[in-house]
């Protein structure tokens, strides 16, 4: 059997020497959608940042297709096929949709047609400046840009931020389809637990920086009220 797309072992990471996540083990296989769930501040964004090298872990290893990424900087991880759509989307208001989809951050050619295939609405607003788009359109653009890089691992950080649930309901199945079509592994951070579990294969629950539950999406769905109650308990101790 081939190595998973992502294999995190014993990851500890944080800021200024203070760990935020501790001893995490997470795997994502080819074509798998994995949800990373947890309360605000549990450490989900921190985990994604460590994977894309925006943050240096203090312990543990992160392997991509069986090869350690430990000494590999962010730009090279991106070139290897790790695409990160951050909270806040990372798009430029003065550039048009098409400009976002033609060239990557480092001038690399993107597969513009792939973005339009998954998000047809983007092809109809190609010439519009990103700053004039609605929140949903901006999120499609951020995701389309990531897909246009033909990633092997897609890290999605709260794509629902500021969006109506109905838009999230449209976007998440596209992530599923992309994983199925291309074999890309997806690690999805999402506050809409129910919607995330509808498209995910498995999920991890992070609580105060540690994984407290790891199960199939089906099992987590059945246990959703307990998971969400757990979050609320954490946020309002």
Q: How far is CA 216 from CA 40, 88, 159, in A?
A: 22, 28, 21
Subset of 23-42 contacting ligand ATP (CB under 6 A): 38, 40-42
Q: How far is CA 104 from CA 40, 90, 91, 110, 150, in A?
A: 30, 12, 11, 6, 12
Instruction: Give me the least distance between CB of 166 and ligand ATP, in Å please.
Output: 21
Are the CB atoms for 154 and 184 separated by under 8 Å?
Answer: yes
Q: Which of 10, 12, 30, 34 is nearest to 220 (CA)?
A: 34
The order of strands in the sheet holding 202-207 is: 82-85, 153-157, 185-189, 33-38, 202-207, 210-216
Q: Which of 62, 40, 50, 86 is nearest to 206 (CA)?
A: 40
Query: Which two three-digit tokens encode residue 208?
Result: 């105060």
User: In this complex, which beta carbon is closest to ligand ATP, that of residue 38 or of residue 230?
Assistant: 38
4: contact with ligand ATP by CB under 6 A: no
203: contact with ligand ATP by CB under 6 A: no
13: contact with ligand ATP by CB under 6 A: no
User: In this complex, which beta carbon is closest to ligand ATP, that of residue 129 or of residue 208?
Assistant: 208
Instruction: Give me the least distance between CB of 226 and ligand ATP, in Å please.
Output: 19
Subset of 43-62 contacting ligand ATP (CB under 6 A): 43-46
For residues 135 to 164, the per-residue mask of contacts with ligand ATP, x marking binding by CB under 6 A and - elsewhere, is ------------------------------
Instruction: Give me the least distance between CB of 183 and ligand ATP, in Å please.
Output: 27
Positions in the binding site for ligand ATP (CB under 6 A): 15, 20, 38, 40-46
């Amino acid at each position: 059997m081939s190595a998973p797309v992502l294999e995190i072992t014993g990851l500890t990471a944080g800021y200024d020497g203070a760990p935020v996540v501790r001893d995490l083990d997470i795997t994502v296989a080819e074509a798998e959608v994995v949800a990373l769930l947890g309360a605000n501040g549990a450490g989900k964004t921190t985990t994604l940042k460590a994977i894309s090298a925006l943050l240096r872990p203090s312990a543990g290893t992160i392997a991509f297709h069986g090869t350690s990424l430990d000494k590999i900087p962010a730009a090279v991880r991106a070139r290897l096929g790790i695409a990160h759509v951050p909270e806040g989307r990372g798009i430029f208001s003065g550039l048009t949709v098409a400009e976002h989809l033609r060239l990557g951050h480092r001038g690399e050619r993107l597969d513009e047609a792939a973005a339009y295939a998954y998000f047809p609405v983007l092809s109809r607003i190609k010439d519009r400046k990103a700053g004039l788009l609605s929140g949903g359109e901006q999120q499609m653009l951020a995701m389309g840009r990531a897909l246009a890089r033909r990633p092997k691992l897609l890290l999605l950080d709260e794509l629902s931020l500021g969006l109506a649930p109905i838009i999230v309901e449209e976007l998440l199945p596209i992530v599923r389809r992309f994983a199925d079509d291309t074999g890309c592994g997806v690690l999805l951070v999402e506050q809409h637990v129910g919607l995330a579990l509808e498209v995910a294969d498995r999920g991890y629950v992070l609580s105060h920086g540690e994984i407290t539950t790891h199960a199939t999406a089906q099992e987590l769905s059945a246990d959703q009220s307990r998971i969400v109650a757990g979050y609320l308990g954490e946020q309002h101790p």
